[in-house]
Structure 1
Amino acid sequence: MTKRKYLVTGGTGFIGSALVRRLVKEGNDVRVVDNDLRGSSARLSDVLSSITLIPCDVRDADAMTEASRGCESILHLAALNGTENFYNRPDLVLDIGVRGMYGALEAAKRNGITEFVLASSSEAYQTPPVVPTPEEVPLTIPDPWNPRYSYGGSKLISEIMLANYNRDLFKKALIFRPHNVYGPDMGWEHVLPQLILRAQTQIASHPTGKVPFEIQGDGSQTRSFVHIDDFIDGLIIMVEKGQHRNVYHIGTRDEITIRTLVEAIFNWFGREPEIIATSLPEGGTLRRCPDTSKLEALGYAPKTDIAKGIDHIAQWYVDNAHLRPTA
């Protein structure tokens, strides 16, 4: 990878910290912007001496301008993610998503930074018309009154902003859409940590026999999960080889039902679940799996299967369950 001066927003988050660590490992000059609203600088404890960490709110264009001065590339990952946040704090999700994007773009404009990489999301196209889903599908928000779409809406808007703001400045503008990235210390508001910790609790209260376990829907809905190590491999490949004004899906084509996922988690615990179906929250997507052939053509090849990945993440959450926020 070409050695450069990078500014990473959201760099103390789950994906951001993994990206920062890789950029440092490859000899780059890295500045990290985050206010630790959802991230934690502790994630970067092993590389703090090798980076510049700047406490900053991405919505503050002046602060972002100062933080990015002298940088050659902005990797914009800052956002308020997590399904619980989509439903409970949609105003803040939108505020950080849209005003934060403006702050980052304005900083690039003021400092003449010609490379900008945006973290979008599969939520930007919500319910796909075809699965596996290629990058060129229409971006859709089916119901603007549903707070579930606050995050997807902010990402849709951000993609449009990158395409049209600083249009003549950027020599390399790239968008990547993560698809269910997972791994240790990914946060507490996502499906895998929540399933793992609920399974642990239910197992403790049912020491013998099948363990009753409620899931949303009947479990036939599918997702495709990508381990953080594979994801960062793909992201680095895209940053280095991706084409100007292009979008890249980063994930895997290994589709799994939620029922099968729950069974795999219980298998890790050495127990068997009695799965109890419940209603799906309004706005959920029944099937999602990316077509990653565009990135694969650049050399992307994920290696971690879900069984190995569950072992990796489940052990971390069981060992660190005491760190889970109580409020």
Structure 2
Amino acid sequence: MSRRAVVTGGGGFIGAYLTKRMVADGWSVAVVDNMVRGDARRFADVADDVELFTCDVRDQAALEKAFAGADVVMHLAAVNGTENFYTNPELVLEVGMLGALAVTNAARAADVPDLVFASTAEVYQTPAVIPTPETIPLMLPDSLNPRYSYGGGKIVSELIAFNYGREHYRKVQIFRPHNIFGPDMGWKHVEPQFIMRALAAKDAGDGTFPIQGDGTETRSFLYVDDCVDGILTMYEKGGHREIYHIGSEDEITIRELAGRIGKIVGIDLDIRPGALPEGGTRRRCPDVTKMRGLGWSPLVSLDDGLERTVAWYREHRDDKPANDLM
């Protein structure tokens, strides 16, 4: 008899890739998603093998029905996308914190033994240590800045998961993904925004390419398949009440990222610096020693991942939805 997993946010970017992988691995999978930001199209290839609960992650009664008989709940539902942090902070906070409470209480009521929560690198904001280990203090620099609605909500979510998990679960784990990217990741993240801008620049024959900041800001990007592999490796081999970074240790500048995307698109970009939004982080790169200790390491290079991602957005560039949360 196959094990049963429930993926909240399974119509989202990482959630859909996780759903497809778990079906392929022989799990019985259910998805909880209200499809406001998610899209069942993302897991259409395995739709016949997925039980879909179209409900809100804040609805505990509905979650209890969805969670019945599950061996693990993978809680990925959230309102992500940096633009949304600034423009929809109330919704970001409500889905983040009330969703965490509803999921944790519903899983307990349904006697689910294992709980996995997705957190974020945003819990550090501006980390003092690079590469950043899981052990540094979490940071909320300014409660007046809506940017921190997401990171602040995730800090609270971690507290909920671990403190409720002291007595009520066999295994509770947190993973903090660091800049995961890939095909069909939405439209409000740096890669799709750069790709769409580069495609438009090529069409116009004008390589002028404005960016936020001066381009020396750094990130490290992990392809989505490697992220999913990391989540499942953590779940199978990791410990109870543990936190794991899932990301790449290859740190690059935003200017270099734009240049690589331009090269793939086929245009030489004239990168023009601009203002950096208040609250933006200048450097971010995780220490993934803990995950490597479980036998995991990234397999897809940045360039290979970008090639696949550019190809998808080139093909689907006219599919950008009117939904401003996407």
- Deviations along 1:22-74, whole A, 9 cap, x unmatched? 11111111111000111100111111111111101010111111111111211
Structure 1 Cα separation of the partners of residues 162 and 309 of structure 2? 36
Structure 2 Cα separation of the partners of residues 60 and 269 of structure 1? 43
Taking structure 1 as the reference length, the TM-score comes to 0.97
Quote the offset at 1:194 in angstroms.
Answer: 0.2
* Structure 2 residue identity aligned to 1:199: A
SS in 1 for 2:297: coil
* Structure 1 residue identity aligned to 2:259: E
SS in 2 for 1:7: strand
- Please tell me whether the aligned partners of residues 224 and 256 of structure 1 are also in contact (alpha carbons under 8 angstroms): yes
Structure 1 Cα separation of the partners of residues 48 and 61 of structure 2? 26
What is aligned with 1:102? Answer: 101
Q: Is 1:299 the counterpart of 2:308 in the alignment?
A: no
SS in 2 for 1:304: coil
Counting only pairs closer than 5 Å after superposition, residues 188-207 of structure 1 correspond to structure 2 as 188-206=187-205
What is aligned with 1:119? Answer: 118
- Please tell me whether the aligned partners of residues 109 and 166 of structure 1 are also in contact (alpha carbons under 8 angstroms): no
Q: Is 1:66 the counterpart of 2:65 in the alignment?
A: yes
- Please tell me whether the aligned partners of residues 219 and 253 of structure 2 are also in contact (alpha carbons under 8 angstroms): yes
* Structure 2 residue identity aligned to 1:259: R
Taking structure 2 as the reference length, the TM-score comes to 0.97
Aligned residue pairs total: 323
Counting only pairs closer than 5 Å after superposition, residues 303-322 of structure 1 correspond to structure 2 as 303-322=299-318
Structure 2 Cα separation of the partners of residues 153 and 145 of structure 1? 12
What is aligned with 2:129? Answer: 130
| Percent identity of equivalent pairs | 48
Quote the offset at 1:156 in angstroms.
Answer: 0.4
What is aligned with 2:175? Answer: 176
SS in 1 for 2:45: coil
Quote the offset at 1:131 in angstroms.
Answer: 0.4
* Structure 2 residue identity aligned to 1:42: R
What is aligned with 1:269? Answer: 265
- Deviations along 1:79-134, whole A, 9 cap, x unmatched? 00001110100000000000011110111121121210000000111111100000
Quote the offset at 1:4 in angstroms.
Answer: 1.8
What is aligned with 1:19? Answer: 18
- Please tell me whether the aligned partners of residues 3 and 26 of structure 1 are also in contact (alpha carbons under 8 angstroms): no
SS in 1 for 2:140: coil
Residue among 247, 266, 276 paired with 1:251: 247
Structure 2 Cα separation of the partners of residues 6 and 304 of structure 1? 26
* Structure 1 residue identity aligned to 2:91: L
Structure 2 Cα separation of the partners of residues 316 and 154 of structure 1? 31
Residue among 226, 231, 234 paired with 2:227: 231
What is aligned with 1:51? Answer: 50
Instruction: List alignment gaps of at least 5 residues for structure 2.
Output: none
SS in 1 for 2:166: coil
SS in 2 for 1:248: strand
* Structure 2 residue identity aligned to 1:101: A
- Please tell me whether the aligned partners of residues 12 and 39 of structure 1 are also in contact (alpha carbons under 8 angstroms): yes
* Structure 2 residue identity aligned to 1:80: V
Counting only pairs closer than 5 Å after superposition, residues 134-149 of structure 1 correspond to structure 2 as 134-149=133-148
User: Deviating runs (4+, > 2 A) in structure 1?
Assistant: none
Residue among 212, 217, 224 paired with 2:213: 217
Quote the offset at 1:192 in angstroms.
Answer: 0.3
- Please tell me whether the aligned partners of residues 79 and 96 of structure 1 are also in contact (alpha carbons under 8 angstroms): yes
* Structure 2 residue identity aligned to 1:269: V
- Deviations along 1:281-318, whole A, 9 cap, x unmatched? 00000000000010011011111111111111011101
SS in 1 for 2:300: coil
CA RMSD of aligned residues (A): 1.2
* Structure 1 residue identity aligned to 2:321: P
What is aligned with 1:32? Answer: 31
SS in 1 for 2:209: strand
Residue among 201, 215, 238 paired with 1:242: 238
Quote the offset at 1:167 in angstroms.
Answer: 2.1
Quote the offset at 1:166 in angstroms.
Answer: 4.2
